[in-house]
Amino acid sequence: MPELPEVETVRRGLLPVLEGAVLHDVMVHRRDLRRPIPEDLEDRTRGKTIIRLDRRSKYLLFTLDTQDVIVIHLGMSGRMRIETGNPPPRDKHDHVEFVTAHHQWVRFGDPRRFGFIDLLSPKDIATYDPFTRLGRDPFDPTLKADDLYQQAQRRRISLKAFLMDQSILAGLGNIYVNEVLFRSRLDPRRPANQLTYHDCARLLPEIQTVLREAIDAGGSSLKDHRQANGELGYFQHSFQVYGREDTLCPACEKTPIRRIVQQNRATFFCSNCQT
Protein backbone atom coordinates (compact mmCIF):
# COMPACT_ATOMS: atom_id res chain seq x y z
CA MET A 1 0.00 0.00 0.00
CA PRO A 2 2.14 2.85 1.11
CA GLU A 3 4.38 4.83 -1.15
CA LEU A 4 4.83 8.56 -0.70
CA PRO A 5 1.33 9.58 -1.88
CA GLU A 6 -0.41 7.05 0.35
CA VAL A 7 1.59 8.10 3.38
CA GLU A 8 0.78 11.72 2.62
CA THR A 9 -2.91 10.82 2.36
CA VAL A 10 -2.71 9.11 5.74
CA ARG A 11 -1.05 12.20 7.19
CA ARG A 12 -3.79 14.46 5.89
CA GLY A 13 -6.43 12.12 7.21
CA LEU A 14 -4.88 12.10 10.67
CA LEU A 15 -4.41 15.86 10.74
CA PRO A 16 -7.87 16.88 12.00
CA VAL A 17 -7.80 14.21 14.68
CA LEU A 18 -4.22 14.32 15.93
CA GLU A 19 -2.83 17.80 15.34
CA GLY A 20 -2.97 19.63 18.64
CA ALA A 21 -4.47 16.58 20.32
CA VAL A 22 -3.59 15.42 23.81
CA LEU A 23 -2.70 11.74 23.93
CA HIS A 24 -5.01 10.56 26.65
CA ASP A 25 -3.76 7.01 26.26
CA VAL A 26 -1.26 5.03 24.22
CA MET A 27 -1.50 1.26 24.19
CA VAL A 28 0.90 -1.23 22.64
CA HIS A 29 -0.42 -4.75 22.16
CA ARG A 30 2.49 -6.21 20.30
CA ARG A 31 6.02 -4.84 20.27
CA ASP A 32 7.83 -7.16 17.86
CA LEU A 33 7.38 -5.35 14.59
CA ARG A 34 10.24 -4.99 12.15
CA ARG A 35 12.06 -3.36 15.03
CA PRO A 36 10.79 -3.64 18.58
CA ILE A 37 8.62 -0.76 19.69
CA PRO A 38 10.58 1.17 22.35
CA GLU A 39 9.79 0.03 25.87
CA ASP A 40 9.16 3.58 27.01
CA LEU A 41 6.84 4.63 24.19
CA GLU A 42 3.72 4.66 26.38
CA ASP A 43 5.32 6.47 29.31
CA ARG A 44 6.93 9.14 27.19
CA THR A 45 3.84 9.87 25.10
CA ARG A 46 0.86 9.55 27.43
CA GLY A 47 -0.55 12.90 28.42
CA LYS A 48 1.60 14.71 25.87
CA THR A 49 0.32 16.93 23.07
CA ILE A 50 1.01 16.32 19.39
CA ILE A 51 2.00 19.72 18.09
CA ARG A 52 2.87 18.73 14.51
CA LEU A 53 2.24 15.96 11.99
CA ASP A 54 4.85 15.68 9.27
CA ARG A 55 5.87 13.28 6.57
CA ARG A 56 9.38 12.57 5.45
CA SER A 57 9.48 10.29 2.43
CA LYS A 58 7.36 7.33 3.55
CA TYR A 59 7.72 8.07 7.25
CA LEU A 60 5.12 9.75 9.45
CA LEU A 61 6.41 12.03 12.19
CA PHE A 62 4.38 13.11 15.22
CA THR A 63 6.17 15.87 17.10
CA LEU A 64 5.18 16.16 20.75
CA ASP A 65 5.25 19.22 23.01
CA THR A 66 8.22 17.54 24.72
CA GLN A 67 10.00 17.74 21.32
CA ASP A 68 10.15 13.95 21.22
CA VAL A 69 9.14 12.58 17.83
CA ILE A 70 7.08 9.47 17.18
CA VAL A 71 8.24 7.90 13.90
CA ILE A 72 5.88 5.55 12.11
CA HIS A 73 6.62 3.50 9.03
CA LEU A 74 3.78 1.50 7.49
CA GLY A 75 5.96 -1.11 5.79
CA MET A 76 3.99 -3.09 3.22
CA SER A 77 0.75 -3.70 5.04
CA GLY A 78 0.56 -1.01 7.70
CA ARG A 79 -2.58 1.09 8.03
CA MET A 80 -4.13 3.72 10.21
CA ARG A 81 -7.78 3.66 11.14
CA ILE A 82 -9.76 6.28 13.00
CA GLU A 83 -12.58 5.28 15.32
CA THR A 84 -14.72 7.75 17.17
CA GLY A 85 -16.33 7.35 20.58
CA ASN A 86 -16.89 3.74 21.52
CA PRO A 87 -14.71 1.79 19.11
CA PRO A 88 -15.38 -1.76 17.91
CA PRO A 89 -13.02 -4.45 19.21
CA ARG A 90 -9.59 -4.15 17.72
CA ASP A 91 -8.40 -6.44 15.01
CA LYS A 92 -5.75 -8.97 15.95
CA HIS A 93 -3.26 -7.02 13.86
CA ASP A 94 -3.94 -3.67 15.52
CA HIS A 95 -0.67 -3.40 17.38
CA VAL A 96 -0.80 0.14 18.70
CA GLU A 97 -3.65 2.44 19.73
CA PHE A 98 -3.51 6.18 20.29
CA VAL A 99 -6.49 7.64 22.15
CA THR A 100 -7.01 11.38 22.23
CA ALA A 101 -8.62 13.41 24.98
CA HIS A 102 -11.56 13.86 22.58
CA HIS A 103 -12.14 10.08 22.54
CA GLN A 104 -10.83 9.56 19.04
CA TRP A 105 -8.98 6.31 18.55
CA VAL A 106 -6.21 5.96 16.01
CA ARG A 107 -5.22 2.35 15.47
CA PHE A 108 -2.04 1.21 13.78
CA GLY A 109 -2.58 -2.20 12.17
CA ASP A 110 0.06 -4.16 10.32
CA PRO A 111 -0.50 -7.86 9.53
CA ARG A 112 2.95 -8.47 8.06
CA ARG A 113 4.73 -6.42 10.70
CA PHE A 114 7.20 -4.92 8.23
CA GLY A 115 6.34 -1.52 9.65
CA PHE A 116 7.65 -0.05 12.87
CA ILE A 117 7.24 2.71 15.39
CA ASP A 118 10.13 4.54 17.03
CA LEU A 119 10.43 7.35 19.51
CA LEU A 120 13.24 9.86 19.00
CA SER A 121 14.72 12.47 21.25
CA PRO A 122 15.52 15.72 19.45
CA LYS A 123 19.23 14.94 19.64
CA ASP A 124 18.75 11.57 17.93
CA ILE A 125 16.91 12.81 14.87
CA ALA A 126 19.95 13.95 12.91
CA THR A 127 21.69 10.58 13.33
CA TYR A 128 18.62 8.34 13.03
CA ASP A 129 19.70 5.66 10.61
CA PRO A 130 16.62 5.43 8.37
CA PHE A 131 16.79 9.19 7.82
CA THR A 132 20.51 9.45 7.15
CA ARG A 133 20.13 7.05 4.22
CA LEU A 134 17.33 9.01 2.58
CA GLY A 135 18.06 10.90 -0.62
CA ARG A 136 16.44 14.01 -2.01
CA ASP A 137 12.76 14.80 -1.67
CA PRO A 138 11.15 14.60 -5.13
CA PHE A 139 9.42 17.94 -4.48
CA ASP A 140 12.51 19.71 -3.20
CA PRO A 141 12.39 23.00 -5.20
CA THR A 142 16.18 22.99 -5.43
CA LEU A 143 16.17 19.54 -7.02
CA LYS A 144 17.13 19.89 -10.68
CA ALA A 145 17.28 17.53 -13.63
CA ASP A 146 21.03 17.93 -13.51
CA ASP A 147 21.14 16.48 -9.98
CA LEU A 148 19.43 13.35 -11.28
CA TYR A 149 21.76 13.29 -14.25
CA GLN A 150 24.86 13.51 -12.04
CA GLN A 151 23.60 10.65 -9.86
CA ALA A 152 22.69 8.53 -12.85
CA GLN A 153 26.08 9.01 -14.43
CA ARG A 154 27.86 7.09 -11.70
CA ARG A 155 25.40 4.19 -11.48
CA ARG A 156 25.33 1.09 -13.58
CA ILE A 157 22.09 -0.18 -12.12
CA SER A 158 18.91 -0.37 -14.18
CA LEU A 159 16.69 2.66 -14.38
CA LYS A 160 14.12 0.74 -12.36
CA ALA A 161 16.58 0.09 -9.53
CA PHE A 162 17.80 3.67 -9.77
CA LEU A 163 14.36 5.12 -9.08
CA MET A 164 13.63 2.52 -6.40
CA ASP A 165 16.79 3.47 -4.50
CA GLN A 166 15.62 5.61 -1.58
CA SER A 167 19.11 7.01 -1.05
CA ILE A 168 18.86 8.80 -4.39
CA LEU A 169 15.23 9.94 -4.44
CA ALA A 170 13.12 9.25 -1.37
CA GLY A 171 9.49 8.30 -1.78
CA LEU A 172 8.90 6.35 -4.97
CA GLY A 173 8.02 2.66 -4.68
CA ASN A 174 7.30 -0.14 -7.08
CA ILE A 175 3.99 1.11 -8.42
CA TYR A 176 4.92 4.70 -9.11
CA VAL A 177 8.31 3.81 -10.56
CA ASN A 178 6.49 1.74 -13.16
CA GLU A 179 4.09 4.58 -13.90
CA VAL A 180 6.82 7.21 -14.04
CA LEU A 181 8.96 5.22 -16.46
CA PHE A 182 5.98 4.56 -18.70
CA ARG A 183 5.05 8.21 -18.85
CA SER A 184 8.66 9.16 -19.46
CA ARG A 185 8.84 6.56 -22.24
CA LEU A 186 12.01 5.13 -20.71
CA ASP A 187 12.86 1.43 -20.66
CA PRO A 188 13.17 0.22 -17.05
CA ARG A 189 16.00 -2.13 -18.09
CA ARG A 190 18.24 0.65 -19.35
CA PRO A 191 21.36 1.27 -17.29
CA ALA A 192 21.13 4.52 -15.37
CA ASN A 193 24.45 5.73 -16.72
CA GLN A 194 23.02 5.65 -20.25
CA LEU A 195 20.61 8.42 -19.42
CA THR A 196 21.17 11.69 -21.18
CA TYR A 197 20.58 15.02 -19.56
CA HIS A 198 17.57 15.34 -21.83
CA ASP A 199 16.16 12.06 -20.45
CA CYS A 200 16.52 13.36 -16.90
CA ALA A 201 14.83 16.61 -17.87
CA ARG A 202 11.87 14.52 -19.01
CA LEU A 203 11.99 12.20 -16.02
CA LEU A 204 11.92 14.68 -13.16
CA PRO A 205 8.67 16.46 -14.08
CA GLU A 206 6.96 13.10 -14.62
CA ILE A 207 8.04 11.98 -11.16
CA GLN A 208 6.56 15.09 -9.65
CA THR A 209 3.39 14.92 -11.72
CA VAL A 210 2.68 11.28 -10.95
CA LEU A 211 3.18 11.80 -7.22
CA ARG A 212 1.19 15.00 -7.23
CA GLU A 213 -1.75 13.45 -9.08
CA ALA A 214 -1.79 10.48 -6.72
CA ILE A 215 -1.79 12.75 -3.68
CA ASP A 216 -4.57 14.87 -5.17
CA ALA A 217 -6.61 11.76 -5.99
CA GLY A 218 -6.24 10.58 -2.41
CA GLY A 219 -7.30 13.86 -0.97
CA SER A 220 -10.28 14.35 -3.24
CA SER A 221 -11.68 10.86 -2.92
CA LEU A 222 -11.62 10.88 0.86
CA LYS A 223 -14.57 12.78 2.13
CA ASP A 224 -13.27 14.66 5.13
CA HIS A 225 -10.09 12.74 4.58
CA ARG A 226 -11.34 9.39 5.56
CA GLN A 227 -13.54 6.62 4.32
CA ALA A 228 -16.73 5.64 6.09
CA ASN A 229 -14.90 2.89 7.94
CA GLY A 230 -12.20 5.26 9.12
CA GLU A 231 -9.59 3.65 6.94
CA LEU A 232 -6.98 6.07 5.68
CA GLY A 233 -4.83 6.04 2.59
CA TYR A 234 -6.86 3.96 0.24
CA PHE A 235 -8.29 5.28 -2.98
CA GLN A 236 -8.71 4.25 -6.56
CA HIS A 237 -5.69 4.87 -8.71
CA SER A 238 -5.80 4.67 -12.45
CA PHE A 239 -2.59 2.89 -13.23
CA GLN A 240 -1.53 2.81 -16.85
CA VAL A 241 0.85 -0.14 -16.64
CA TYR A 242 1.10 -1.45 -13.09
CA GLY A 243 -0.68 -4.79 -12.79
CA ARG A 244 -1.82 -4.60 -16.42
CA GLU A 245 0.19 -7.44 -17.92
CA ASP A 246 -1.08 -8.58 -21.33
CA THR A 247 -3.47 -5.67 -21.73
CA LEU A 248 -2.93 -3.33 -24.64
CA CYS A 249 -0.59 -0.41 -24.03
CA PRO A 250 -2.78 2.67 -23.51
CA ALA A 251 -0.36 4.80 -25.54
CA CYS A 252 0.36 2.88 -28.74
CA GLU A 253 -2.68 0.61 -28.45
CA LYS A 254 -0.97 -2.22 -30.25
CA THR A 255 1.62 -3.72 -27.92
CA PRO A 256 0.65 -5.73 -24.84
CA ILE A 257 2.11 -4.63 -21.51
CA ARG A 258 4.93 -6.92 -20.46
CA ARG A 259 5.73 -8.11 -16.97
CA ILE A 260 9.31 -8.89 -16.01
CA VAL A 261 11.09 -9.24 -12.68
CA GLN A 262 13.85 -6.87 -11.61
CA GLN A 263 15.45 -6.96 -8.16
CA ASN A 264 12.79 -9.50 -7.24
CA ARG A 265 10.05 -6.98 -7.93
CA ALA A 266 7.52 -6.95 -10.74
CA THR A 267 8.11 -4.46 -13.54
CA PHE A 268 5.41 -3.58 -16.08
CA PHE A 269 6.19 -1.70 -19.28
CA CYS A 270 5.51 -1.32 -22.99
CA SER A 271 8.47 -2.55 -24.98
CA ASN A 272 7.28 -0.52 -27.96
CA CYS A 273 6.87 2.87 -26.31
CA GLN A 274 9.58 2.69 -23.69
CA THR A 275 13.11 2.91 -24.97
Partner DNA sequence: CGCTCCACCTGAACGC
Partner DNA sequence: TGCGTTCAGGTGGAGC
Contacts with DNA, residue ranges (CB under 7 A):
1-3, 6, 34, 57-58, 73, 75-77, 92-93, 111-114, 129-130, 133, 154-158, 161, 166, 173-175, 192, 237, 263-266
Which of 84, 263 has the CB closer to DNA? 263
Task: Report in angstroms how near the CB of residue 184 gets to DNA at its nearest.
Answer: 18
Task: Report in angstroms how near the CB of residue 97 gets to DNA at its nearest.
Answer: 18
Is residue 253 flagged as an active site residue? no
User: Given 3, 8, 97, 179, which residue is catalytic?
Assistant: 3
Task: Report in angstroms how near the CB of residue 242 gets to DNA at its nearest.
Answer: 8
User: Given 11, 12, 55, 58, which residue is catalytic?
Assistant: 58
Q: At what angle do helices 4-18 and 197-221 cross, to 10 degrees?
A: 40
Task: Report in angstroms how near the CB of residue 113 gets to DNA at its nearest.
Answer: 5
Task: Report in angstroms how near the CB of residue 188 gets to DNA at its nearest.
Answer: 12
User: Given 2, 5, 138, 188, which residue is catalytic?
Assistant: 2
Is residue 58 flagged as an active site residue? yes
Which of 23, 55 has the CB closer to DNA? 55
Query: Which residues sit opposite 248 in a β-bridge?
Result: 256
Which of 102, 112 has the CB closer to DNA? 112
Which of 44, 93 has the CB closer to DNA? 93
Task: Report in angstroms how near the CB of residue 249 gets to DNA at its nearest.
Answer: 19
Which of 97, 110 has the CB closer to DNA? 110
Residues 6+ apart with CB under 8 A from 95: 28, 29, 30, 31, 33, 37, 108, 109, 110, 113
DSSP strand pairing (69-73 vs 59-64): antiparallel
Which of 1, 143 has the CB closer to DNA? 1
SS3 assignment for the chain: CCCHHHHHHHHHHHHHHHCCCEEEEEEECCCECCCECCCCHHHHHCCCEEEEEEEECCEEEEEECCCCEEEEECCCCCEEEEEECCCCCCCCCEEEEEEECCCEEEEEECCCCCCEEEEECHHHHCCCHHHHCCCECCCCCCCCHHHHHHHHHCCCCEHHHHHHCCCCECCCCHHHHHHHHHHCCCCCCCEHHHCCHHHHHHHHHHHHHHHHHHHHHHHHHCHHHCCCCCECCCCCCCCCCCCCCCCECCCCCCCECEEEEECCEEEEECCCCCC
Which residues carry out catalysis? 2-3, 58, 265
